[in-house]
Amino acid sequence: MDLFEALYTTRAMRRVKPDPIPMEVQERILDAAVRAPSAGNTQGWRFLLVDDQEVKARLGPLYRDALGTLFEGHYKPMRERAEATGDTRTLNVLRSARHLADNFESYPLLMFAFIRNDPGGGSIYPSVWSAQLAARAFGVGSALTSVLGLFHGAETMRILGVPEGKGWQVACMVTFGYPTGRWGVAPRRPAHEVSFRNQWGDPVGFETPEPLWTP
């Protein structure tokens, strides 16, 4: 697959089929993840795959509770503003995030990423994104989530048997599954609106109103 196609079309794919992800594909996803950079090449990461229905059933209620906390707290003003202004893009993201929570147990594969000695999490996200890109290459959709670790990190680690007192923390969790819908280019604010050259606020020197890769 073309690298740019993968970069432009790897999106949060939360509507997926229950079909299992073949073991060879899981292997390729994790092998790609561990090629990623980390500060000082410390590789202070661990990945834990979950495909056991019983484990998912224990995590699902925690995930829904965590998302509820986020939606009723931090996200509430954003949701209310989106409802008042009819901002369908934001409302769709929230609806899609709710779908993931409501269907947590039906994702065929979850990947938990753990970090140690990485307070900013800067050393884990390259590997997680590599895992998502590798999944994309096999037609597997993914969605990166952080609410479980944010609101129920300790309980999640207990359920997953993570050793205590060793400094491990949940960084994030990724759902994987074959999408029910189609791949599309992620709509974003164009690069020239969020980039500068030499001095903050000075034009970057080009304008890219449309994505430079199209299907």
Ligand X SMILES: Cc1cc2nc3c(=O)[nH]c(=O)nc-3n(C[C@H](O)[C@H](O)[C@H](O)COP(=O)(O)O)c2cc1C
Please list, in sequence order, all residues whose beta carbon lies within 8 angstroms of the beta carbon of residue 215, skipping any fewer than 6 positions away: 5, 9, 185
Residue 145 near ligand X by CB under 6 A: yes
- The answer to whether residue 124 forms part of the interface with ligand X (CB under 6 A) is no
Length of the chain: 215
Would you count residue 147 as binding ligand X (CB under 6 A)?
Answer: yes
Q: Return the number of the residue (152 or 168) whose C-beta is nearest ligand X.
A: 152
Q: Using CB under 6 A, which of 11, 56, 136, 152 touches ligand X?
A: 11
What one-letter code names the amino acid at 149?
G
> Which residues make Cβ contacts (< 8 Å) with residue 8, sequence separation at least 6?
185, 186, 211, 213
Contact call for residue 1 and ligand X (CB under 6 A): no
Residue 6 near ligand X by CB under 6 A: no
Tell me the CA distances in angstroms from 160 to 7, 54, 70, 123, one per residue in order: 31, 11, 23, 22
Q: Among 143, 157, 162, 170, which residue sits at the site for ligand X (rule: CB under 6 A)? A: 143
Q: Hey, which residues between 89 and 118 contact ligand X (CB under 6 A)? A: 93, 97, 100
Tokens of 205: 């020197």
Among 7, 12, 159, 185, the residue binding ligand X under the rule CB under 6 A is 12
Residue ranges in contact with ligand X by CB under 6 A = 11-12, 93, 97, 100, 143-147, 186
